[in-house]
Amino acid sequence: MNLLKVFAILSLMALASPALSHEDVEGSGDHPLIERIAGAYIAWQKVDEYAEYRFPAGIHIRNQGYEESITAEGEHLRILYRFTEPTPTLRIYRSYQQSLERAGFEILFQGRGQDDELDNRKGINFMGRYEILPSGPNLRLPTQRSESDTSYLLARSQDGSILASIAIMVPNLTNLPIIVLDVVTSTTMNDAMEHHPLKANELSQSLTTQGHVALQQLHFAFDSTEILPESAETLNEIAKLLQQQPDLRLLVVGHTDSQGSFDYNLRLSSGRAEAVKAYLETQHGIQASRLQAAGAGMMAPIASNRDEAGRQLNRRVELVDLQ
């Protein structure tokens, strides 16, 4: 499907419902290597096991199309993020630049409509004019009112197996930005992307035999202590374990990779551990005296911080048995 038609369909879906939920749609989740912006939620998501997708990789020239594009084949993930409150699109743009670089991605093309880096019409031609639906009216995105709010990034992972584009815009009739994320991953990466949260009995076994257990399936918004909705299953299993073993006491320890300063990572890891503790207390009624939170920052890596695969493993929360 043409990228411009995709943007139009998703934007229409984002605007059409009068009662939007501020929780992620059921069954959705972030890409494991592309961190979510704080304050965003998933309004729509689709995954194709194998597809061909064309990414714009250069400016749009009027009456000619994109100066350059890249076609990729593999698993195609498309996510539409929305916000509950007005959020500066420049902040979103800069946050993605930083998070992609932290994840080891190479930026292949980027630009903002306001700076005429996407075309010569403030991003209007780059996003284009097209039909929303076969029988629907035309819609211009972005509109003249929101033209300076259009931004786009295209990035490739360090090993070349992942291509990702991020389009940021403010649709007509709203002052809330949306983000359209498209990711194509080569089929060789499928196994690595599967995540299976540990069950209560598996958590118990690790705590009994090793004294601690790492929770790779707890996810937080980028640069934030906000727990993302897809973490609920793991948190539910922790609560189940604590309910099954009323004498069990746990130390909740946050860990980070080595990106950023020592003090920053120490604060972030401590804040995330506190967030997990608070969630278990407020959402599941676990007594505060049974949980203790702490942050280790970058001090206890379980893998090398020289590549993203290792850094991803190091960004985790661990449970430690206090018996």
Q: Which domain holds residue 202?
A: 195-321
pLDDT for 123 equals: 63
Question: Do 75 and 220 lie in a common domain?
Answer: no
Question: Do 38 and 97 lie in a common domain?
Answer: yes
How many angstroms separate the CA atoms of 304 and 312, rounded?
10
The CATH number of the domain holding residue 277 is 3.30.1330.60
Mean per-residue pLDDT, 88-94: 92
Question: Do 84 and 228 lie in a common domain?
Answer: no
Is the model's pLDDT at 136 over the cut of 70? no
pLDDT for 149 equals: 73
Q: What is the pLDDT of residues 42-63, one digit of tens each?
A: 988 888 888 888 888 888 776 6
Question: Do 244 and 146 lie in a common domain?
Answer: no
Contacts of 128 (CB under 8 A, 6+ apart): 4, 7, 60, 141
How many angstroms separate the CA atoms of 162 and 158, rounded?
8
Which residue from 55, 32, 258 is spatially nearest to 155, judged by alpha carbons?
A: 55
Question: Do 181 and 220 lie in a common domain?
Answer: no
Q: How many domains does the chain have?
A: 2
pLDDT for 57 equals: 86
Question: Do 139 and 224 lie in a common domain?
Answer: no
Question: Do 182 and 203 lie in a common domain?
Answer: no
Question: Do 210 and 184 lie in a common domain?
Answer: no
pLDDT for 49 equals: 82
List the structure tokens of 18.
């009068």
Contacts of 80 (CB under 8 A, 6+ apart): 10, 13, 14, 42, 43, 44, 45, 178, 179, 180, 181
Question: Do 75 and 183 lie in a common domain?
Answer: yes
Beta bridge partner(s), residue 181: 79, 166
* Residue recorded with tokens 């194709």: 48
Is the model's pLDDT at 87 over the cut of 80? yes
Question: Do 257 and 132 lie in a common domain?
Answer: no
Beta bridge partner(s), residue 153: 110, 166
Question: Do 107 and 144 lie in a common domain?
Answer: yes
How many angstroms separate the CA atoms of 209 and 236, rounded?
22
Q: What is the pLDDT of residues 259-315, one digit of tens each?
A: 889 999 999 999 999 999 999 999 999 999 999 999 999 999 888 888 777 787 888
DSSP 266-312: HHHHHHHHHHHHHHHHHHH---GGGEEEEEEETSS-SS-TTSHHHHH
Tell me, yes or no, if the pTM score tops 0.85.
Answer: no
Which of 11-25, 144-158, 308-322 is predicted least confidently?
A: 11-25
Q: Which of 147, 172, 191 is the last residue of a domain?
A: 191
Q: What is the pLDDT of residues 186-196, one digit of tens each?
A: 864 333 334 46
How many Cβ atoms from other residues are within 10 Å of residue 27's Cβ?
9
Question: Do 123 and 224 lie in a common domain?
Answer: no
Q: Which of 174, 191, 208 is the last residue of a domain?
A: 191
List the structure tokens of 2.
């043409």
Q: Which of 191, 212, 234 is the last residue of a domain?
A: 191
